[in-house]
Structure 1
Amino acid sequence: MAASPRVAMVAGETSGDLLAGLLIDGMQAHWPDLQTCGIGGPQMQRRGFDAWWPSEKLAVHGYSMEVLRRLRELLGIRKQLRERLLKDSPDVFIGVDAPDFNLGLEADLRAAGIKTVHFVCPSIWAWRAERVEKIRRSADHVLCIFPFEPELLARHGIAATYVGHPLAGVIPMVPDRAAARAQLGLQDTDEVLAILPGSRSSEVAYITQPFFEAAALVRKARPAIKLIVPAVPALRERIVQAAQAAGLGGVVQIVSGQSHAVLAACDTTLIASGTATLEAALFKRPMVIGYHMHPLSWWLMRRKQLQPWVGLPNILCGDFVVPELIQDAATPQALCAATLQWLDARQHHPEKITALEQRFTALHESLRRNTPQLAADAIQKILHPAA
């Protein structure tokens, strides 16, 4: 067995921390004495990662205003990290998602002779197609989580490997709804709406209030419905305040974390666009996707949007299989109406729910691979091409 490498990594926010943690699992199976360091979160640290900065430092939202407010801090962190890695070079640098932070750093490290890997292909097939040139300069290899991406990258001369989506291996093909409800103190007969307003501070600022106002309207139509929110601990107090402002203070059940249990337990979910929508699809749950951001951020994003869909389940299915209510369309009334349609379908048109579950099952099967092992195998070939 080859000597264990020293691997530097950067993972931004909660989803990147989860992906990086699974990648570390695969690498540790190859190299039991693996050394990892850089920017990471609790999932990575649990596996022995030396976090020089916590991953939440990179948790920014939007395309312009939100990032600009913290740009000086982010650039300072990247400069310090680059200098530290150039002074004491790792065997390989792996940037996990966070392309705005990682690709520039990877380009500098690669120019200095350090091997670079980017895990999670930026969504050049959805928007910002011009970013492909930056990927080509920055990454020796890209680890892709969607099956169509390696061919797309190959057209631009970028080496890539499809490793499957890690969440597809973590989430069971048939979720245990009863166990999840028991864990959360819910009855099997309860009608349950899950509300997932996002894991970033700015997401909570923009979308939580419309979500809770929509939930209040849903509750007027269906008084017995149970409302449950999985909250990132750091944002819990803000979510509690938003629930109170919507008149739901004594009604909504707010739990710390446990988003997978909440998705397994619910009948439908009102959910912010992002990775969580893919998780909801893997749990085979009907959903209403909502999102709102700073108006300038939205204008800039729309100019570069390449597909009619915003939510990952719709992008991957190539169809509007679940409703999307984005920006000005994300009113409490519209969010409520779309949510009630799913709840009514469970009672009166179960064939619609069955059809959606079949689409999501096929999606799950296409994404399910042994991601930690495939990713670690690809990294081993990059480190030892002749092996």
Structure 2
Amino acid sequence: MNASPRVAMVAGETSGDLLAGLLLDGMQSHWPALQSFGIGGPQMARRGFEAWWPSEKLAVHGYSMEVLRRLRELLSIRKSLRSDLLKNRPDVFIGVDAPDFNLGLEADLRAAGIKTVHFVCPSIWAWRADRVEKIRRSADHVLCIFPFEPELLARHGIEATYVGHPLAGVIPMVPDRSAARAQLGLQDADEVVAILPGSRSSEIQYIAKPFFEAAALIRQARPAIKLVVPAVPALQSRIAQVAQECGLQDAVQIVAGQSHAVLAACDATLIASGTATLEAALFKRPMVIAYHMQPLSWWLMRRKQLQPWVGLPNILCGEFVVPELIQDAATPEALCAATLDWLDARRHNPSRISALEQRFTVLHESLLRNTPRLAADAIQKILAPTA
């Protein structure tokens, strides 16, 4: 085995950057002189990763014009990266999420004899089951973050390892609400709603306004409510503009990043479907999951949907433990009513909140593993020379 392997990686978006950063921690414990390069973000850069392109380049959303506008640039990046990696071959390529970008690249590299790993199994159990054949062609090994996935992949002849969900090790089993509130300048007695409209520009385009219109209605019902929005720094000014358009310029506290502090501090959250909903569940917080996208994108996605749930907490629990308001159902009035329902429960039906917290605690325990070590161990086996 190479004493100092060269690892090419591609991580898309903020969530992929976080996952890849934790994976780098595990690999560097095995190989302190590890060399890593490719496409990544700030979490990876902190571990010495050499980013040839930033991870936000891969932050696309849905289908149709949203992707088509970026398609030429994305294809150009992938072509250049493929060429560079085939000329200067890494010991292993690790695609972190971003399956639309990574699986095709992995297939080409694997066909050329380069070992390939895909970290985060594409959601073939939720939608796009047709991807399973592409995964089989593309990945020597899949690192899975949900416990049921390796058995599912094994049925299709795909080697996989369950490594736990990295967020389960980052988020405390019992979050410190008071400390988070102090960090954000909030009081213990405040009633706090976290608003998370997403980390992509297209999500802000489609969901931020209904969220803030709902927040304005919540404020009418609860004038003392504290509304806190963690924003990706690049989108902070745009989010502030939408809040101002909805008459909330002086009523919303927008903070750069700090999504974990905001979720720890809140009583309930109005949240865009995605990885953030799992984070909210791990923080044991009541939530209203919502999503809205370009109509054609929604039509195409809905045709491929295999389960009745969209939000990860509901998918993993196998039932609607929290409400989902998707597409046309995501009206400001409905979002407001569902959020107020959780706030009313905190005041008048605390057993309902306790039951949800217990359900999310069980979920947290099922996802908690030493992800960096397990993932690095799996990669070490892949890199071990064959007899």
TM bucket (normalised to shorter chain) is over 0.9
Q: Report the TM-score, using the length of structure 2 for normalisation.
A: 0.99
Match of 2:35 in 1: 35
The amino acid across from 1:173 in the alignment is M
Query: Partner of 2:263 in structure 1?
Result: 263
Q: Which residue of 2 aligns with 1:44?
A: 44
Give the CA deviation at 1:202.
0.2
Corresponding residue for residue 327 of structure 2: 327
SS at match of 2:51: strand
Give distance in 2, aligned partners of 1:2 and 1:130: 36
SS at structure 2 position matched to 1:47: coil
1:138, 1:271 → 2: CA distance? 33
Q: How big is the shift at 1:68? A: 1.0
Q: d(CA) in 1 for partners of 2:202 and 2:375?
A: 32
Distance between the aligned counterparts of 1:269 and 1:67, measured in 2? 29
Which amino acid in 1 is paired with 2:92?
V
**Following the alignment from structure 1 to structure 2, what is the Cα–Cα distance between the partners of residues 204 and 301?**
19
Q: Could you list the runs of 4 or more consecutive aligned residues of structure 1 that deviate by over 4 angstroms after TM superposition?
A: none
Equivalent positions of 1:1-387 (< 5 A) are 3-384=3-384
Aligned length: 387
C-alpha contact (below 8 Å) 1:229/1:254 kept by paired residues: yes
- State whether residues 26 and 373 of structure 1, in contact with CA within 8 Å, keep that contact through their aligned partners in structure 2: yes
Q: Which amino acid aligns with 1:55?
A: S
Distance 2:128 2:386 in 1: 36
Q: Which whole-Å deviations, capped at 9, do the CAs of 1:268-312 have from their partners, x for residues lacking one?
A: 000000000000000000000010000000000000000000000
SS of 2:9's partner is strand
Letter in 1 for 2:219: R
| Same amino acid, percent of matched pairs | 87
The 3-state SS of whatever aligns with 2:212 is helix
CA distance in 2, matches of 1:65, 1:165: 32
Cα distance, 1:2 vs structure 2: 5.2
AA matched with 1:139? A
* Alpha-carbon distance in structure 1 between the residues aligned to 2:299 and 2:179: 43
In the aligned structure 2, how far is the partner of 1:202 from the partner of 1:242? 13
User: Quick one: which amino acid aligns to residue 323 of structure 2?
Assistant: P
* Letter paired with 2:174: V
Query: Using the alignment, how far apart are the partners of 1:65 and 1:291 within structure 2?
Result: 18
Task: Determine the C-alpha separation between the residues in 2 that align with 1:307 and 1:352.
Answer: 25
Q: How far does the alpha carbon of each residue in 1:291-346 deviate from its partner, in whole angstroms, 9 at most, with x for none?
A: 00000000000000000000000000000000000000000000000000000000
Per the alignment, in what secondary structure is the counterpart of residue 70 of structure 1?
A: helix
CA apart distance, 1:4: 1.4
2: CA distance, partners of 1:61 / 1:54: 17
For structure 1, list consecutive stretches of 5 or more residues without a partner in the other structure.
none
Q: Matched residue of 2:158: which SS?
A: coil
* Contact persistence 1:41–1:54 (CA under 8 A): yes
Contact 1:65 1:296 in 2 (8 A): no
How many angstroms does 1:69 deviate by?
A: 1.0
Distance 1:74 1:204 in 2: 21
Paired letter, 2:289: I
**Under a length normalisation based on structure 1, what TM-score does the superposition of the two structures give?**
0.99
Structure 2 unaligned blocks of 5 or more: none
8 Å CA contact 1:21, 1:47 repeated in 2 = yes
Q: Alpha-carbon deviation of 1:64?
A: 2.7
SS, match of residue 186 in structure 1: coil
